[in-house]
């Protein structure tokens, strides 16, 4: 009996180690019957000699006339009734080889490859997978608003249909399927001995998962590993532009580069073809390209390409772009793959880009700020730092990173550092959760009040605020939480999963190097900015030195939120089995308060018996003066100096107001440096680690590192953009210290002789 088949091209030049050749030759789906099979076989053969395929081969130093092509006939996988997608056996943006990245959406995989749909994304830790753990360390729920299905015979007769809102809000793969795919990726990579780019499909009838294509990953495999290239905008500029209203659009960041130029906007490639023909006619009539106004030209080198989505036809234009912006697509879309290959920053899934941006408008797009790319109005300065990473000198002082956004950790982990000295949990709360933890914990009680007007006993500590807000406002809040937590019936579990996956991704990125996670340290005014925060947070005159840090964890009203936090961190240790997790307690005023926090953590499976080292954030004078008492009461494994808050607590000035005083104080001021030196001495005498994670070493890389080395500090944690400069400063300071100590050692040797 005849069956539906896929007719797929496979050229000898495809997927070489130097070029992906992705999508250059044609493939056809849902082909039925002998005549149709022969017709589509001919089309596959002919596609090797299209303009784009020939141009691509010549551009990669290949001879089109020496190329051969095979046509593979495969039984159709009925993924139109299920899901399909792409996976990489490394992270496609950063090149991190410790993870597997899976993209998944409903229907045929063509939309995922083209970038016509924003898929779900899953990140799996390879080492944990090899050890048999359920090592899904991060998930991102995509829009998945359309699906391609079969509409009849031949590729042209497929059609795209809308996906129901319920399916959009659900994950397209369950955990078992994610793990099955990850195991397949691992075996394929092991077989070929290199990172792989893999297409897969699930059959909706048999429920089996099939691998339909595997090729070498060509972008990161060809990178020069000895160099580090970092794109950065001047300090404070991004915040200034956001505050001024210059932010035009956001989307998914591809890579970590920055691009700027003039917008060229096209709705389809047919529009490009028509404009090219008109331009050729004018040039044939005697006009020069320079005489033709910019708005009438097609595309100049350095322009910004803005369109709904790209296909292989766009590639000659894409390689000349300074920035690519597409309304649809994810990190494994066609636009993303080609952008990485050409080393061009891209913003994908940038909704309404063709409406928000204007033709010939000058814009700057940055992918250097984490997972979310930002597009600003105007041309703005940025720097490109190329560093040769010289690891020949071994340092006595460890260098670690301050990490905020988990999605940036995979890229940052490539820096020559010894781990993470500060992972800010509050960044995960604001970016990944964005709902007050108590609003999630008491979601059912809030929902009942919105319906009945009756306040449950659990909500009585906040009854006055709730009554003042009224049912209508609470009903609006409940609806907003419902939308934010789409796919979760249990809102508490949403919080636990988001925090677990955020911390898990950071720990995975740096494994086996240690990751020091600071427990939540949002202040009341910051908590109030989260959904529901105005219900559960007091209005404080000076939240900087009020209800924050350790004092929250031991407060009965906040304890349910702290329990959720602990549940998430315990899963990082137990489910993901990431053994490089360390915890740090911030803003702890007394040894007694610290002892209670230590006991709370131990009771929740996060104590020393669970092999989770506990650190203290040293940011109060009491932490320094009573250093030994804190070490004993909390059974500390180490401490980390928070220079930002230490400045304000030593000099009794709010950190937010420091710039307003005539006699400026900062981490270089004598009283602060005296406190730092004393803290280092106390912890070193007790034989435990002491580091610094405040902003000072990053802000003053020419001064503070040398002072800290002289103090004998164990580690210095800095922001990623200053890591190379601080490493050089530490090397210089350690060499100078050795030279100073050399005469003293020689004198001691002579005296002993």
Distance CA 123, CA 102 (A): 6
How many CA atoms does the CB half-sphere of 390 hold within 13 Å?
6
Query: In which band, very low, low, confident or very high, does the pLDDT at 226 lie, cut at 50, 70 and 90?
Result: very low
For residues 655 and 670, the model is more confident at 670
What percent of the chain is modeled with pLDDT above 70?
93
Residue 243 clears pLDDT 80, i.e. is over it: yes
Catalytic residue (one of 44, 566, 693, 711): 693
Tell me the per-residue pLDDT of 522-535, one tens digit each, with 9 for 90 and over: 999 999 989 999 99
pLDDT value at residue 637: 97
Average pLDDT, the chain: 89
Structure token digits, residue 529: 């900015």
Distance CA 62, CA 68 (A): 12
Q: How would DSSP label each residue in 687-749?
A: T-EEEE-SSHHHH-TTTHHHHHHHHT-SEEEE-GGGHHHHHHHHHHHHHHHHHHHHHHHHHHH
pLDDT value at residue 747: 62
pLDDT value at residue 309: 87
pLDDT value at residue 154: 46
Domains, the chain, with CATH or none: 1-76 (3.30.1490.20), 78-223 (3.30.470.20), 227-387 (3.50.30.10), 398-744 (3.20.20.60)
Name the β-bridge partners of 147. 161
Residue 693 annotated to the active site: yes
Distance CA 598, CA 593 (A): 9
Tell me the per-residue pLDDT of 535-594, one tens digit each, with 9 for 90 and over: 999 999 888 899 999 999 999 999 999 999 999 999 999 999 999 999 999 999 999 999
pLDDT value at residue 155: 44
For residues 403 and 591, the model is more confident at 591
This prediction has a pTM of 0.79
Considering only 145-159, 172-186, 230-244, 501-515, which range has the smallest mean pLDDT?
Answer: 145-159
Residue 334 annotated to the active site: yes
Catalytic residue (one of 138, 140, 334, 436): 334
Tell me the per-residue pLDDT of 613-634, one tens digit each, with 9 for 90 and over: 999 999 999 999 999 999 999 9
pLDDT value at residue 225: 46
Residue 264 clears pLDDT 90, i.e. is over it: yes
Distance CA 503, CA 498 (A): 9
CB-based burial of residue 551 (10 Å sphere; 0-12 exposed, 13-18 middle, 19+ buried)? middle
Residue 1 clears pLDDT 70, i.e. is over it: no
For residues 88 and 729, the model is more confident at 88
Considering only 188-192, 308-312, 345-349, which range has the smallest mean pLDDT?
Answer: 308-312
Positions of E strands within 144-292: 146-150, 158-162, 196-202, 209-216, 227-232, 247-254, 258-266
Tell me the per-residue pLDDT of 650-666, one tens digit each, with 9 for 90 and over: 998 876 566 567 777 88
pLDDT value at residue 287: 83
**Arithmetic mean of pLDDT, 210-227:** 71
Tell me the per-residue pLDDT of 485-495, one tens digit each, with 9 for 90 and over: 988 999 999 99
């Amino acid at each position: 009996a005849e069956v539906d088949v896929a007719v797929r091209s496979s050229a000898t030049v495809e997927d070489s180690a130097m070029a992906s050749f992705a999508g250059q030759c044609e493939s056809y789906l849902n082909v039925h019957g002998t005549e149709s099979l022969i017709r589509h076989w001919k089309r596959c053969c002919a596609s090797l000699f299209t303009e784009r395929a020939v141009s691509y081969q010549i551009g990669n130093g290949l001879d089109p006339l020496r190329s051969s092509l095979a046509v593979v006939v495969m039984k159709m996988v009925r993924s139109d009734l299920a899901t399909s997608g792409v996976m990489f056996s490394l992270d496609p943006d950063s090149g991190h080889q410790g993870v597997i990245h899976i993209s998944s959406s409903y229907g045929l995989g063509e939309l995922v490859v083209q970038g016509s749909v924003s898929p779900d994304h899953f990140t799996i830790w390879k080492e944990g997978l090899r050890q048999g753990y359920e090592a899904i360390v991060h998930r991102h729920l995509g829009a998945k608003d359309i699906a391609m299905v079969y509409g009849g015979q031949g590729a042209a007769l497929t059609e795209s249909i809308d996906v129901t809102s319920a399916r959009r809000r659900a994950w397209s793969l369950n955990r078992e399927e994610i793990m099955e795919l990850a195991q397949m990726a691992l075996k394929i990579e092991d077989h070929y001995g290199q990172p792989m780019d893999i297409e897969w499909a699930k059959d909706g009838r048999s429920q089996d998962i099939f691998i339909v294509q595997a090729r070498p990953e060509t972008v990161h495999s060809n990178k020069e590993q000895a160099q580090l290239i970092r794109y950065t905008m001047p300090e404070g500029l991004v915040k200034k532009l956001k505050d001024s209203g210059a932010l035009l659009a956001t989307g998914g960041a591809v890579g970590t580069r920055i691009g700027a130029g003039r917008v060229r906007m096209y709705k389809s490639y047919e529009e490009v073809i028509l404009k090219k023909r008109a331009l050729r006619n004018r040039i044939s009539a005697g006009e020069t390209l320079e005489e033709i106004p910019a708005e009438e030209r097609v595309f100049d080198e350095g322009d910004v390409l803005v369109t709904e989505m790209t296909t292989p036809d766009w590639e000659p234009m894409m390689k000349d772009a300074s920035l690519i912006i597409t309304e649809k697509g994810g990190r494994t879309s066609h636009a993303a793959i080609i952008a990485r290959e050409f080393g061009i920053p891209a913003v994908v899934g940038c909704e309404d880009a063709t409406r928000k941006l204007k033709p010939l408008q000058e814009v700057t797009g940055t992918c250097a700020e984490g997972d979310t790319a930002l597009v600003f109005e105007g041309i703005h300065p940025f720097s490109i730092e190329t560093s040769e990473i010289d690891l020949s000198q071994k340092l006595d002082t460890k260098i670690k990173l301050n990490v905020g956004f988990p999605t940036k950790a995979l890229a940052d982990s490539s820096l020559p550092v010894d781990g993470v000295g500060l992972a800010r949990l509050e960044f995960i709360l604001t970016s990944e959760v964005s709902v007050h933890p108590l609003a999630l914990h008491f979601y059912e009680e809030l929902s009942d009040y919105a319906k009945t007007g009756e306040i449950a006993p659990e909500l009585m500590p906040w009854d006055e605020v709730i009554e003042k807000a009224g049912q209508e406002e609470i009903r609006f809040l409940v609806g907003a939480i419902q939308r934010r937590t789409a796919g979760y019936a249990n809102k508490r579990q949403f919080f636990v999963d988001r925090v677990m996956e955020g911390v898990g991704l950071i720990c995975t990125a740096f494994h086996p190097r240690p990751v020091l996670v600071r427990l939540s340290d949002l202040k009341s005014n910051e908590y109030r900015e989260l959904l529901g925060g105005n219900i559960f947070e007091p209005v404080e005159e000076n939240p900087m030195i009020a209800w924050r840090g350790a004092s929250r964890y031991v407060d009965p009203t906040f304890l349910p939120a702290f329990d959720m936090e602990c549940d998430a961190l315990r899963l990082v240790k137990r489910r993901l089995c990431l053994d490089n997790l360390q915890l740090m307690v911030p803003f702890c005023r007394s040894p007694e308060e610290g002892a209670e926090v230590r006991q709370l953590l131990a009771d929740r499976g996060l104590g020393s018996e669970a092999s989770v080292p506990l650190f203290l954030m040293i940011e109060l004078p009491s932490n320094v003066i009573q250093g030994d008492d804190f070490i004993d009461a909390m059974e500390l494994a180490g401490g980390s100096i928070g220079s930002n808050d230490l400045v304000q607590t030593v000099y009794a000035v709010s950190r937010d107001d420091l710039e307003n005083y005539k006699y400026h104080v900062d981490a270089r001021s004598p009283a602060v440096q005296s406190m730092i030196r004393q803290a280092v001495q106390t912890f070193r005498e007790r034989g435990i680690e002491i580091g610094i994670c405040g902003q000072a070493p990053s802000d003053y890389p020419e001064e503070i590192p040398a002072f800290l080395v002289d103090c004998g500090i164990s580690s210095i944690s800095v922001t990623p953009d200053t890591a190379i400069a601080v490493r050089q400063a530490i090397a210089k300071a350690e060499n100078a210290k050795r030279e100073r100590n050399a005469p003293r050692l020689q004198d001691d040797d002579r005296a002993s002789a």
